[in-house]
């Protein structure tokens, strides 16, 4: 099964989770700033982001809009903010409009409790990827 991790992170919290996921899966988590378009076909894409002044960054919105069902079978979201639910909802809407399956649950780590939540990444990855 092919798995990839992509994220947008201004302050580093989302990156911390992405990197922990990458470590668990033995793959490199890549920022969408470094790779603005997904270049490979994947079964599962872990996609992380957070709100800034209530909305996700435009780069993440554009990235999600550009994802094609031919490249991505299923997306699993992760986020780190106090009020991320709106961002998760928006991402889910964009992706399902693109006919991409998005898991109902997502990984959440509060930005001030990242270190505490890192061990939970392992459990989450096991549950999702096996
Ligand atoms: C300029 C700015 C605006 C923010 N606005 C919000 C917001 O509206 N709602 C929220 O829940 N968090 C907000 N946050 C908090 C971030 O979403 C939170 O720190 C998140 O973990 C950032 O992820 P990152 O470290 O990967 O960039 C804001 C942070 C910054 C720097």
Res. 44: pLDDT tops 90: yes
Asked if the structure places residue 129 within a domain, the reply is no
The per-residue pLDDT for 91 is 98
How large a percentage of the chain has pLDDT more than 90? 99
Q: Is residue 128 part of a domain?
A: no
N-terminal to C-terminal alpha carbon distance within the chain? 10
In a domain, residue 23? The reply is yes
Whose Cα sits closest to atom 29 in ligand 1? 52
91 occurs within a structural domain = yes
70 C-alpha vs ligand 1 centroid, how far in Å?
A: 32
Measured from the Cα of 13, ligand 1's closest atom is 25
Residue 130: the pLDDT is: 83
Domain assignment present for 41: yes
Please report whether residue 127 resides in a domain.
no
The pLDDT of residue 90: 98
Plot region of 107 (φ>0 → left; ψ -120 to 50 → alpha; else → beta): beta
Å from CA of 119 to ligand 1 middle: 22
pLDDT in tens, 120-130: 999 999 999 98
The 10s digit of each residue's pLDDT in 76-117 is 999 999 999 999 999 999 999 999 999 999 999 999 999 999
**Whose Cα sits closest to atom 10 in ligand 1?**
83
Task: Report residue 14's pLDDT band, with 50, 70 and 90 as the boundaries.
Answer: very high
Q: Which numbered atom of ligand 1 lies nearest the CA of 84?
A: 11
Could you tell me if the CB of 32 is within 6 A of ligand 1?
Answer: no
Q: Is the CB of 85 under 6 A from ligand 1?
A: no
CATH number, position 18: 3.40.50.360
* pTM: predicted TM-score of the whole model, two decimal places: 0.98
Q: Into how many domains does the chain fold?
A: 1
- Name the average pLDDT for the chain: 97
Average pLDDT of the segment spanning 43-54:
97
| Banded pLDDT at 2 (limits 50, 70, 90) | very high
Quote the domain boundaries for residue 14. 3-122
């Amino acid at each position: 099964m092919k798995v990839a991790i992509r994220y947008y992170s201004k302050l580093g919290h989302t990156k911390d989770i992405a990197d922990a996921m990458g470590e668990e899966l033995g793959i490199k988590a890549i920022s969408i700033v470094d790779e603005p378009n997904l270049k490979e076909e994947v079964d599962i894409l872990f996609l992380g982001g957070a709100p800034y002044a209530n909305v996700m960054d435009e780069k993440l919105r554009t990235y999600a809009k550009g994802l094609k069902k031919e490249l991505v079978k299923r997306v699993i979201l992760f986020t780190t903010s106090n009020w991320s639910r709106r961002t998760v909802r928006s991402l889910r809407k964009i992706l399902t409009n693109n006919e991409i399956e998005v898991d109902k649950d997502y990984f959440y780590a509060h930005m001030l409790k990242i270190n505490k939540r890192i061990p939970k990444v392992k459990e989450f990855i096991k549950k999702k990827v096996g």
